[in-house]
A and B are shown apart, each in its own frame.
Chain A
Amino acid sequence: MTGSGKRVLACLVVMAIMWILAAQARAQDEAASHLLRYRDREASTGYYEEYEVMPRHLRAFIEPRPGPADVVGYSPNAPTIRDRTRLADSHYGIRFYDRRRCETCHPEEARNLHTTRANLTCRQCHGGEPIPGSRYYYAPMNPIRRHAYICAKCHQGANASFATYRVHEPNPALLSTQATFPVLFWVFWIMIVIAAGTFLLFLPHTALWGIRELLAGKKGTHREREDQ
């Protein structure tokens, strides 16, 4: 064999060894699955496989609902807009919008911990005019980018899962919550039943106990037995 022939052979052997030994890195894998591989990337971008939707386990509520009936009063064309969550300006066509406070029209939404406790203004999350509906494709509030554009402004490292936290939490006691956030509804009521059960049992029990010991006196507590 010639010298160059040997060299070619050696190269082939080395290449074969490299081909066999080199473990396939995760990154070389084209497949993406939210269970295994790009999970972190998916969680932080909100893009799941090839779909622009949230994976099922992140979905706790049934959405979106049509606007409240009183929208009718605000504008002539409001009734034709059944669902404002996809509008670029969610207040489009609504009269008397200027110079009002958000709370006057959205009192329920003002009852949230970020507003009442952390003193955030609505616009720190919802942004300047126009305020887009939360499902408008380019809205910062759109769930595919909400975590990055809204929550991460204050919560460093927020991912899409974090952004499914319900800022405007429905009242867990209400029956309507059973339809919109069933987990919260059921957990709330189970906890309430446990608490109420404990007190229904032990408050009367303890009161009777106290009265009985008071009547029996400190010494004679167990008179019956001592008499035997």
Chain B
Amino acid sequence: MSSWQERKAPTVNAKTNDEATRVRRFTPLQRFFHGGLLAAFIVQGATGLGRMSVETGWGKGLCRLFGGYESALVLHKIVGILMIAGFLIHMVYLLVVIDWRRFPRMLLGPDSLVPSPRDARQFFEHLGWFFGVRPHPEFDRWGYWEKFDYWAVFWGMVILGISGLLLAFPVASSRMVPGWGLNVALWVHRIEALLAMAHVFIIHFFVAHVRRHSFPMDRAMFEGTVDLESTRREKPAWLARLKEAGRFEERLATEAPPFVRAASYLFGFVAMAAGIALLVGAVINLPRITW
């Protein structure tokens, strides 16, 4: 057992929230981008599903929320272009945060989101743990499911962004691609969007809200910190590495003030309710539309 596990967090008074029971995990900028992506994702999902299923009462109602069938499309295009802008800014951000001195090697290091052979191994070890035949793998900073989520969004943005731009300006884009490319682009856009929504509204929500580790909500992306106790159990390799580099203390944080906690719960649960409402509505109504 490494020494950090024995070490007691500086206890002051559990009642006044002054105990350093949390570890900082996301920077304010990262949380801002996650929040923006979250809001944009819900708006795109609602406007897109509303237009797609406008033949049904549910779709009409969704469109009405955004001012009708036509203005839902206007909003969809504006938010889509904002998302593309956000994606480009994220590219710049990546160029800035990459540690260029250790450039190609750090891509496979533990702080990188690039999948490495270790992720495949840990995936199977985790499966083994599900069936009780193996000890729990010691995850580092990013679990394989977190890396998958990142790259799913990354390529999803590329695919949806390109097909969306083609569809947003059909006459202009038919100068670059043949007009029948729009038939293809629409199907790509639809399937990718449905895949993304189903993944986020089922799997991502389950991982971040429902499973026991995070129930009722993993506040990491809203408050920026995670619970030290449960991180010690899930990601011991990360904490050990921080400890070794002497960065552990500076990452310790206390519980956020109650109103911040309340706000993040509110934000999280509203988003989750919206996502699940979209999911249920889509499951009921999509079989009834003309595709």
Residues of A at under 8 Å CB distance from B?
A: 43, 57-58, 60-61, 111-113, 116-117, 155-159, 161-166, 169, 171-172, 181, 183-184, 187-188, 191-192, 194-195, 198-199, 202-203, 205-206, 208-214, 216-218, 221-222, 224-225, 228
Contact = CB atoms under 8 A, between A and B. Distances in A.
Given A162-B171, A162-B174, A195-B195, A213 B211 contact: yes
A54 to B, nearest CB: 9
Nearest to B1: A228
Contacts of B103: none
A72 B184 CA distance: 34
Interface stretch (B38-46, B82-90, B128-136, B271-279): B128-136
Interface of B: 51, 54-55, 69, 126-127, 129-132, 135-136, 138, 145, 148, 152, 170-171, 174-175, 177-180, 182-184, 187-188, 191-192, 194-195, 198-199, 202-203, 206-207, 210-213, 230, 233-234, 290-291
A175 B76 CA distance: 33
Nearest to B232: A222
Closest 3 CB pairs of A and B: A162-B174, A165-B179, A164-B179
Contacts of A188: 187, 191
Contact of A187 (B129, B188, B194): B188
A35 B207 CA distance: 52
Contacts of B210: 210
Contacts of B199: 198-199, 202
B7 to A, nearest CB: 16
B206 A156 contact: no
Contacts of B131: 208
Given A165-B179, A195-B195, A155 B171 contact: yes
19 contacts: A58-B179, A113-B290, A116-B290, A155-B171, A158-B171, A161-B178, A164-B180, A165-B170, A166-B183, A181-B180, A183-B180, A184-B187, A187-B188, A191-B191, A191-B192, A198-B152, A208-B130, A211-B130, A225-B136
B212 A214 contact: yes
Contacts of B152: 198
Nearest to A60: B180
Nearest to B59: A117
B130 A116 contact: no
Nearest to A192: B191
